[in-house]
Amino acid sequence: MTSISCPAMLRAVLAVLGCAACGRAAQSADARGDDAAAVADAAFEARVLDVVGDISPVHDPAIVATPGKYYLFSTGAGLLVHESSDLVRWRATGSVFAQKPAWITTTSASNPNELWAPDVRFFGGKYHLYYAASSFGSNVSCIGHATSASLDAASWEDHGAVICSAASDNWNAIDPAPVLDESGAPWLALGSFWGGLKLIQLDDSGARRGTSFVALATRANTAVEAAYIAHHGSFYYLFESVDFCCKGVDSTYKIMVGRSADIAGPYVDRDGVPLLAGGGTLVVTGDGRWKGPGHNAILHTTTGDYNVYHSYDARANGAPTLRVAELRWSSDGWPVSAGP
């Protein structure tokens, strides 16, 4: 979800949300991905859940399942938190931080408490929350890290920055996406526009381990962000949001995917095109009502998998809105999502 300069239409909403991404170049096309997705969709009966309650504004959602409850974290002042017992009825319950942690100096002066694109994983006996602190059109950015022993009545302890980018860097330290590999070791995917998506290693405390910096994906117009890595079967799947968010009904975001047997890649699409060469198989694109679906997370449950993302509702002046879609897997192991 997240980067480069945001145009006008959602300024009022995004001032509250802190949408963390938008574009600076022309929209790219991917007819090959559209065709592949259409063929795959015909074989499955996935559906979008009729979510209700506090479902807008929601931008850059991340989701965590606990026994009897789902927690949703999203972009906004202090990082917004929602809860649900059934994935359908959602209730806003506050924010992670009452105000931004004192170490942060990279947010906008006009909206200093806006934090972007949180994601959460459980490892080492704690929930680890990663989030971005930046401003529109800038890659002077940091990814922060906080932990809590529980999500019920959570008490988040902030640990400062995991990684930061400077104006001289050809990458952007936003859109963090923690992931555990098959051995249980933690990693962090990140990046938006500039040089594309990257991957770094974490240690068991959730801090950065070493200096490795793996390139995962890029596109010719650099409009790629919101990495999310999920494991299914024998592969890791790298989901990415391409083109432009944050333009309300004019948003062109869409969700693409590639896969690899190794968490560090190389990731290729269904036709074998590397994501580092601009490849990507289409997962979800917009329609007449739901524009610019993107910044997704994958939820695995005992009853099935779900694709959780935001989309801009043309019936509500382009307001960013929570979408929860069933996700199935094709016979050759590719994700097929309902939506948008």
**List of long-range contacts for 122-127, beta carbons under 8 Å, 24+ apart:** 122/64, 123/180, 123/184, 123/186, 123/204, 123/206, 124/204, 124/205, 124/206, 125/149, 126/206, 127/64, 127/151, 127/154
83 in catalytic set:
no
Q: Are 292 and 225 in contact (CB under 8 A)?
A: no
Annotated catalytic residue: which of 60, 119, 175, 269?
60
CA-based end-to-end distance of the chain: 16
Q: Is 225 a catalytic residue?
A: yes
Q: Which DSSP string corresponds to 206-264?
A: SSB-SS--EEEE--TT--EEEEEEEEETTEEEEEEEES--SSGGG---EEEEEEESSTT
User: Of the residues 114, 225, 240, 326, which is catalytic?
Assistant: 225
Residues taking part in catalysis? 60, 225
